[in-house]
Amino acid sequence: MKKLPLLLPLLGLALSASAQQKNIYHKGWVDFNKNGRMDVFEDPSQTIDKRIADLLSQMTVEEKTCQMATLYGYKRVLKDEMPVPNWKNEVWKDGIANIDEELNNLTSHTDDAPTQYSYPFSKHASAINTIQKWFVEETRMGIPVDFTNEGIHGLNHDRATPLPAPIGIGSTWDKQLVRQAGQTVGREAKALGYTNVYAPILDPARDQRWGRVVECYGENPFHIAEMGKQMVLGIQEEGVASTLKHYAVYSVPKGGRDGSARTDPHVAPREMHQVYLYPFRRVIQEAHPMGVMSSYNDYDGVPITGSYYFLTELLRQKFGFQGYVVSDSEAVEFLYSKHKVAADYKEAVRQAVEAGLNVRTNFTMPQTFILPLRELIKENRISMKVIDSRVADVLRVKFRLGLFDSPYVKDPKAADKLVHTAADEQMSLKMNREAMVLLKNENNLLPLDKGKYKNILVTGPLAVESNYSVSRYGPSHNPITSVFDGIKKYVGAAGKVNYLKGCDMVDATWPESEIIETPLTTAEQAGIDSAVAQAKLSDVVIAVVGEDADRVGESLSRTGLNLPGRQLRLIQALQATGKPVVMVMINGQPLTINWENKYVPAILEAWFPSTQSGQVIAETLFGDNNPGGKLPITFPKTTGQIEFNFPFKPNSQAGQGGQNSWGHTSVNGALYPFGYGLSYTKFEYSNLQVSPEKGQSQGDVTVTVDVTNTGQRQGDDVVQLYLKDDVSSVTTYEYDLRGFERVNLKPGEKKTVTFTLHPDDLALLDKNMNWTVEPGTFQIWIGSSSQDIKLKKGFTIE
């Protein structure tokens, strides 16, 4: 019996009875339908379109509808870790589109799925092969499964390489590093047997109250597009599909509210295209992801998952998407249960499939979708032409992934050497370091001198907490270094490091205490008093405050953005001791830290760092890591300013001075603007050049600027290019980000940074909603934040 080299020998599994009777593995091809001959769809030399057409022509309605549903993996929906005889009686006896999060040993509040097959990594790869083998050998057509998994801050698998939360990744502004992170996620997925990663999230986080800000790269569409593009390229370079989330207009629920609301975005059409769809359009056109996840909100009364305009006209016809669309969990059901645009669930299924949905995902058995779908076909309420088109999209991705040429992990043992390597750990460490943003550093209190500060107090509810470093969508079971442990280890024998909690994350009546304050309990007062007593004996106080995993995330939107609970009271009491206080913030969204910014001398924003948080924060506080991160989202002073973000329309975020205005009734301006971040060194910009100074609407514009490190330490700067359109046929944003580069410079070193502006960067949506480059004058602004503009130069488009 001839066998495809590397396929079966490495599986180490006995052939099933049916495959023994009829060997399906031949040199260079697999007899998936077990008919003893090489069909067109089994022939690797044929075009993908021909292979799809041939396969579709041989499939039954049962087999086609099975390629339109997800089977959630073990413990969520699937009850068996390995194939069992009863699978022959399950709906997936005719195949399945994808199996999600299979045997990944997830640990979270919402799902706990322990399994013996997640680790060692080689064991997982072999287990996935066993399951894939069942689908190839035990179903009539043998169509391989697409194994999907989450991956927004590292692959969602037991002990895979962890990354900081996406808002931290966004703070690096490091395109090259994000590409590298994507390659790590893709390589690990492939080695473990996953073929499709649900990442990145391209939602612009425009409302700081929204709980999922922590899962986004930031608020600015250009910044998100640039980062997201690199993540997709990195993942797909490893031969794995990238699926974008959450399409579309999902990230701006009314009043920032989440949970069962998740709906009613108040966004005008032009803003929708310029802000919310922009990252999706750019990433689809420039990185060609193989997947898109449809969101469960509506837009202007039409649920996205039931919208032909969003799922077909825009996504496929305008943006050129060629992969398959999977629904966010329960998005199809919501057409009936929440949005009430369908009288029953079956009608919701019809609307979604007609709109352009390829695969339904939910935490219910796949037959809850497949059976109504089959009824609709039988009743002629959905045509076979539509079904064939939807299934063809799914099959196209499976062909592009090579699943019909090599359905198995070729070398399961190699997974042990390919997942979470020493090099991956260094990449993750670098990303955590680059995500640190220095918000305040009065009188250069930071970096701390180990020789000067011999007695250190580490306090605050997050000093020894670690739940922020592992979330629902990232790797689990990695060892974690808390901030206290990281500082203690860093200081070593050079000094004494004490810990006192000071206060809990929240008080008994929180979040109501944000609007009706209650007196401190005896225990709360004692906790603060003990921290104050220790602070008086210390040389410096490091207060670790902010939010934990229960305070921010999906369905965890907030009404206030102050430090939760008694944390401000703790900070105020520590500050009153007269000792230097350094505030380290661990949080998933901007916080309105006005008092803290006014009175605390040093503030470091760490976001939700990953498992090495303690090490990285210690390195940053003591100067081994010079913080170079920049804020990817505006910090407002109060929730009363929201919406308050970047970019913005002229005067829409103005104060009350100037022509035709008066009065002093509002707090104005950002606490920290978009693009803001300090350093332990200084940078200067010079020699801004724009070429050509008079150009054509379809030509590129080249911009160069010199940046010099004029300080005493090596450090990173993010050079930011903003574009201003002086006069336009429709109102455009005051100015917008159109380029950024992170550069590392030694003291005294100078580098020339080059930007290329393409016609798309100059385009606006005109009165007829067409993307147009209008003739006129433009300005290039170079700055170290959206407010700190250093150089300006104009050019003309003729």
| Cβ atoms 43, 51 nearer than 8 A | yes
Confirm if 293 and 245 have CB atoms less than 8 A apart: yes
Report pLDDT for 263: 76
- Count of CB atoms within 10 A of residue 127's CB? 23
- Token look-up 């979604």 returns 352
Q: What is the pLDDT of residues 709-761, one digit of tens each?
A: 999 999 999 999 999 999 999 999 999 999 999 999 999 999 999 999 999 99
Q: Which residues pair with 201 in a beta bridge?
A: 245
- Which residue is listed with tokens 């939910």? 362
Q: Nearest-CA neighbor of 223 among 283, 269, 273, 267?
A: 283
Q: Following CA atoms 573, 578, 580, 585 in sequence, which dihedral angle do they give, to the nearest 10 degrees?
A: 20
Q: Dihedral of CA 494/495/501/505: which sign?
A: negative
For CA atoms 27, 32, 34, 35, the dihedral sign is negative
**How confident is the model at residue 658, as a pLDDT?**
74
Neighbouring residues of 498: CB distance < 8 A, sequence distance ≥ 6: 455, 456, 457, 458, 534, 538
Q: How many CA atoms lie within 13 A of 198 on its CB side?
A: 27
* Cβ pair 226, 568 in contact under 8 A: no
The pLDDT of residue 382 is 98
Helices and strands in the chain, H and E counts: 23, 27
The predicted structure's pLDDT at residue 21: 52
CB–CB of 436/625 below 8 Å? yes
Cα–Cα distance, 179 to 187 (Å, whole number): 12
326-366: pLDDT as tens digits: 999 999 999 999 999 999 999 999 999 999 999 999 999 99
pTM above threshold 0.75: yes
Which of 545, 543, 542, 547 is CA-nearest to residue 468?
A: 547
Report the residue count for the chain.
798
DSSP string spanning 656-685? S-STT-----S--S-SB-TT--B-SS-EEE
As averages over each run of 10 residues, the pLDDT of the chain (798 residues) reads 42 43 89 97 98 98 98 94 97 98 85 91 98 98 98 97 98 98 98 98 97 97 98 98 97 87 85 98 98 96 97 98 97 95 98 98 97 98 98 98 98 98 98 98 97 96 95 90 98 97 97 95 98 98 97 94 98 98 98 98 98 97 98 97 96 82 88 98 98 93 98 98 97 97 98 98 97 97 98 97
Residue 331 CB contacts under 8 Å (≥ 6 apart), including other chains:
294, 295, 296, 303, 304, 305, 352
For residue 660, CA distances in Å to 641, 648, 655 come to: 21, 20, 12
CB 656 within 8 A of CB 610: no
Catalytic residues: 328
**Confidence (pLDDT) at 20:** 44
CA distance 85 to 74: 16
E strand intervals along 295-447? 298-299, 302-303, 324-327, 437-441
Evaluate whether 751 touches 686 at the Cβ level (below 8 Å): no
Q: Supply the DSSP string of 449-473, one letter for each residue.
A: -TTT--EEEEESTTSS--GGGS-TT
Count of CB atoms situated within 10 Å of the CB of 111: 14
CA end-to-end span of the chain, whole Å? Answer: 71
